[in-house]
Structure 1
């Protein structure tokens, strides 16, 4: 029997309730990596939390500050919600802009190093797989991804958060691609 609790929504993160079939879930994290990183996390209680985090460097920041902030953010998520048992991230194979490709590569390197140091399994999932699972179309646009998340009862603030939600729902539904 699943308990129902109402949790208020805030500007920084949205909380949604899904039926809890077990009292013990593994904490899993889904990420849409970028300067504004979308994230969705299923906690041990089955509650899905999502939001987006900005890793835009400040005017006087050195080149590595974005990645240090990302590392610290991952550590805080792990400390407050974890331990994180598995991480899925959106695997982007083509970027329109060179800077976006560099940022993505740096964030992915930081994420994989962070996970390796802690023994947390991680895996990239192709963009088309996520979009197809969420909308039925492997080339769905940003608005379609947001609409798909809303149709499932979520309130994403932007497409980054919607993509992370879709990725997390894919991971749950397919047991991380194993099912």
Structure 2
């Protein structure tokens, strides 16, 4: 019986991270994203996966899947994904949404052989601001200091994750 190879075990060639399209995500109902394209251009933003009034429970995850696929089609192919790995949530609903988005993301990546890795919140904040428990305002200020204009802390976090990935060679070992 053949054991499937996990995308998490597939690694880009050494140095390939420098010329590949990579994606960083701050998962949540409002998801922050930052993408470094093949030519080095960084774009970022936020996207809402808030369910509509008549949406079923799984619609936010289908929209997230479609969004990832469209991003990959228009800007990719995506070579690697990093996301904020949250271990504690403020509420049950937030933890359920995060878990569903993470499951959707990892399944999407596994199907396409795209490596992915979570980055601890403290590591992202420490890299961006020098403090592992930096507040949202400090994360936004750090993104602005790098020349970005994030609309909120979700986008600022995604920018910080992307820079962490680029500057630490992604942490994919």
TM above 0.5, yes or no, is yes
**Is the contact made by 2:117 and 2:172 (CA closer than 8 Å) also made in structure 1?**
no
Gaps of 5+ in 2: 1-17
**Cα offsets for 1:95-115 (capped at 9, x unmatched):** 011000000000000000000
TM-score (structure 1 length as normaliser): 0.86
Distance 1:178 1:117 in 2: 19
User: Cα deviations across residues 39-91 of structure 1 (Å, max 9, x unaligned)?
Assistant: 00000010000000000000000000000000000000000000000000000
The alpha-carbon distance between structure 1 residues 33 and 63, as it changes in their structure 2 partners (threshold 3 A), is: same
> 1:78, 1:97 → 2: CA distance?
31
Highest RCO, 1 vs 2 (Cα 8 Å, sep ≥ 6): 2
- What corresponds to 2:95 in structure 1? 101
Corresponding residue of 2:12 = none
Q: What do you get for the CA RMSD once the two structures are aligned?
A: 1.1
Count of paired positions: 156
- Partner of residue 52, structure 1: 46
Corresponding position of 2:24: 30
TM-superposed deviation, 1:178? 5.7
For residues 85-164 of structure 1, what are the structure 2 equivalents within 5 Å? 85-164=79-158
Matches of 2:127 and 2:139, distance apart in 1: 10
Larger helix share, 1 or 2: 2
Q: How far 1:177 moved relative to its partner?
A: 2.1
Match of 1:61 among 55, 60, 76: 55
